[in-house]
Chain A
Amino acid sequence: MSFFTLSMLQTALEQGCILSLVTLALYISFTTLNLCDLATDGTFTLGCAVSAQMALTFLGHPFLALLAAMAIGCLSGFINATLQTKLKVESILAGIIVNTGLYTINLWVMGLGTSGGFSSNVNMNKAITIFDLAKDVLQPMLGSWYKLAVLAVFALGAALLIKLFMGTRLGLSIRATGDNADMVRASSINPGFTITAGLCLANALTGLAGALQSQYQKSCDINIGTGMVTIALASLIIGQTLVGRRGGVGRRIAGVLLGSCLYRIIIAVALRLNMNANCLKLVSAIIVAIAIASPTVRSAIALQRQKAAARAAKKGEETHA
Chain B
Amino acid sequence: MLKIDHISKTFNPGTVNEKKAVQDLSLTLDSGDFATIVGSNGAGKSTLFAAIAGSFIPDSGSIILEGEDITFTPEYKRSKSIGRLFQDPLRGTAPNMTIEENLALAYLRASTHQRAFFSRVTRKEKDKFRQQLALLDMGLEDRMSQPVGLLSGGQRQALTLLMATMVTPKILLLDEHTAALDPGTAQKVLDLTRKIVAEHHITCLMVTHNMHQALEMGNRTLMMDRGKIVLDLKGPERDGLTVDDLLQKFAQGAGREMNNDRILLSK
Contacts and interface: CB of A to CB of B under 8 A. Distances in A.
B132 interface: no
A103 to B, nearest CB: 33
Which of B79, B101, B104 has its CB near the most chain A CB atoms (within 10 A)?
B101
B220 interface: no
Contacts of B61: none
Contacts of B117: 168-170, 197
A179 interface: yes
A186 B84 contact: yes
A176 B117 CA distance: 14
A78 B98 CA distance: 29
B133 interface: no
A180 interface: yes
A189 B94 contact: no
A261 to B, nearest CB: 25
A248 B112 CA distance: 25
B114 interface: yes
Contact of B93 (A165, A183, A189, A246): A183
**Number of chain A interface residues as a range:** 20 to 34
Nearest to B98: A248
Contact of A167 (B93, B120, B145): B120
Contact of B97 (A179, A188, A189, A191): A179
Contacts of B109: 169, 173, 187-189
A172 interface: yes
A182 interface: yes
B118 A169 contact: yes
A169 B97 contact: no
Contacts of B97: 172, 175-176, 179
A246 B110 contact: no
B106 A168 contact: no
A272 interface: no
A125 to B, nearest CB: 41
Contacts of A168: 117-120
A190 interface: yes
A170 B110 CA distance: 13
Nearest to A167: B120
A185 interface: yes
A186 B93 contact: no
Interface in B114-166: 114, 116-121, 145, 147
B145 A248 contact: yes
A172 B96 CA distance: 11
Contacts of A176: 94, 97, 105
Contacts of A170: 117-118
B5 interface: no
B45 interface: no
15 contacts: A167-B104, A167-B120, A169-B112, A169-B117, A172-B101, A175-B101, A176-B97, A179-B96, A180-B93, A183-B91, A185-B76, A187-B79, A187-B105, A188-B77, A190-B74
Interface of A: 165, 167-170, 172-173, 175-176, 179-180, 182-183, 185-191, 197, 246, 248
Given A186-B91, A188-B79, A246-B147, 19 more contacts: A165-B118, A167-B101, A167-B121, A168-B118, A169-B105, A169-B109, A169-B117, A169-B118, A170-B117, A173-B109, A179-B94, A180-B95, A183-B91, A185-B76, A186-B53, A186-B92, A189-B109, A190-B76, A197-B117
- Shortest Cβ-Cβ A-B pairs, 9 listed: A179-B94, A170-B117, A169-B108, A188-B80, A172-B105, A176-B94, A180-B94, A188-B79, A188-B109
